[in-house]
Amino acid sequence: MKKVVGLFLVCLLCIPVCLQAQGRQGGEQPQWDPESTEWYYPVPVKVRPGEGTRPPSDAIILFDGKDLSRWKAARGDSAAGWKVQNGELIIVPGKGGIRTREYFGDCQLHIEFRSPAPGEHKGQNRGNSGIMMQSRYEIQILDGDDNPTYVNGMAGSIYKQSAPLVNAYTRNGEWQIYDIYWKAPRFAIDGSVESPAIVTVVLNGIVVQNNSIVKGTTPYTGLPKYIAHGRMPVSLQDHGTETAFRNIWIRNL
């Protein structure tokens, strides 16, 4: 009996030691000095936020209301065929799309657009254009003012892939504001996809794509696919309507 009681007392004495060891194994951190988890270099570059509609200080101004010097025709090497009028960049239907002269990968893109008067047009024929990230992945531009269409083709969608979370378009004739946060796809040496593109899209201050995975290209017919590429221009689509743009800037990330 005495042996049993003695063994019981030894077990009781061991319990705190076992619990302490178990706590360390369960992720309990040792007692460190605060300085051991602080670092001071490299210091982030100072960027001045934009005031009002102004871009931040490190932005590349793609269109400032004056000229198309940073753009060219989407095909070939000719000058961009759209017009600049009253500080706006306006599609000239039939002239084809335009693309930036500079190439981009991960980026933050700001662009404002305004749909033309609808007239007799409806659905995909009302104010249709598109922002082609890296010249091949389309964020849809479309008049969303009482204009029913397929939901993965409405304003705020990744065209033919992902419908917007909500319809954040305001009214025809008003400026719509896009802020696009783009993580470019990564490819292996053999051309296979290491990681797909991911995009967050904010329309008029409302998140409409939340870290959405882009499945590949955004064709009108057929399924998306990836073909390996590097940095590419941003393109704007001519879809036959006089959609207007202003205040276009981009930041490399």
pTM, entire model? 0.86
Q: Could you tell me which residues are beta bridge partners of residue 112?
A: 177, 246
Q: Is 102 within a domain?
A: yes
Q: How far apart are CA 131 and CA 16, in angstroms?
A: 63
Q: Is 209 within a domain?
A: yes
pLDDT in tens, 115-166: 999 888 899 999 999 999 999 999 999 999 999 999 999 999 999 999 999 9
pLDDT at 246: 97
Cβ atoms of 86 and 221 within 8 Å: the answer is: no
Q: How far apart are CA 143 and CA 145, in angstroms?
A: 6
How many domains does one find in the chain?
A: 1
pLDDT at 14: 47
Q: Is 92 within a domain?
A: yes
- DSSP three-state, residue 209: strand
Burial class (CB in 10 A: 0-12, 13-18, 19+), 96: middle
Helix ranges, the chain (H): 2-25
- Here the CATH number for the domain that contains residue 209 is 2.60.120.560
pLDDT at 29: 65
Residue range(s) defining the domain that contains residue 230 = 60-252
Q: Where are the beta strands (DSSP E) in 18-160?
A: 60-63, 71-73, 83-85, 88-90, 98-100, 107-114, 129-133, 137-141
Q: Is the pLDDT of residue 197 over 80?
A: yes
Kindly list the distances between the CA atom of residue 216 and the CA atoms of 73, 97, 219, in Å, as whole numbers in the listed order. Answer: 23, 20, 9
DSSP-assigned letter for residue 244: E
